[in-house]
Amino acid sequence: MTNQQHTVRVAVIQAASVIMDREASTEKAISLTLQAAEQGANIVVFPEAFIPAYPRGLTFGTRIGSRSPEGRKDWLRYWENAVPVPSKTTEMLGEAARKAGVYLVIGVIERDNEFSGGTLYCTVLFFGPDGTLLGKHRKLKPTASERIIWGEGDGSTLPVIDTPFGKIGALICWENYMPLVRTAMYAKGVQIYIAPTADAREVWQSTIRHIAVEGRCFVLSCNQYVTKDMYPADLACYDELASSPHEMCTGGSAIVGPLGDYIIGPVFGKEDILIADLDLRCIAYSQFDFDVVGHYSRPDVLQLIVNEEKKENVKWVK
């Protein structure tokens, strides 16, 4: 982009959802977005599944071969608090982005409103500073038991969005361990690589630093800080949390530069807003000796095919 600005102020919001409450989680997101804007942020990032929750510790009453009535009650509650796209919730988030004058990137649990209406997706939404919903990304492969509650996205929702502050895109949590998807993002020119996650392990820090070095991009990793007492006690399967620790998710949000060095973070043990000023010229500076889809690539040997067609849930055959 010829009119691209050299510097951008970003805000990574490490905060917990109001668990299983779409309206309250949305209001919290709006408040935090405005707080970040007051600190001069141009881009504001929220964690994976911020609205209405990443339901860590819950099984929804599932065992191989059976589902319990209590688990179905919690599932229904989760479904009822999920976010149709578009909806009143997305309108409110767009209005918050407009009022704050920021690019807002936020993780939601999306409720399908195109086919059956019964499937949920782990999704990232992108809003522009005029309030427009610019795009969304659905997680391609939910991890392990996440597959019980979320469907799979497809290649039609892999946007990299051109902004005056660089090209932004997002992969969610363990999608970032899929090298071909990362390469697709690099090939689209991502400069600010957003990695909302639910992974607070130390090894995740190695992951985001590797991505920054590999992609020669800035990486914004955003996680929640969640304690057990934040869960509503009236969950039908609340007793499943009995053996869980007080700190259900310790955080670890961080901002990493294109040579793999921390700019800020990681932050553990509290809710926080991480603010950093990024100089986009650092990307070219870092690409002097390595450009993963440029002078260091070998398209004569290795090629990537990405299917960006929308998946048909039902195909009618006459």
**Residues with a known catalytic role:** 48, 139, 173
Q: Where are the beta strands (DSSP E) in 103-190?
A: 103-111, 120-127, 133-138, 160-163, 166-170
Q: How many residues does the chain have?
A: 318
Distance separating alpha carbons of residues 179 and 183, to the nearest angstrom: 6
Return the H-helix or E-strand segment holding 177. Answer: none
Coil, helix or strand at residue 204: helix
Question: Which residues contact residue 69 at a Cβ distance below 8 angstroms, ignoring those fewer than 6 apart?
Answer: 61
Residues 6+ apart with CB under 8 A from 261: none
Q: What angle do CA 261, 263, 266 make, to 5 degrees?
A: 90
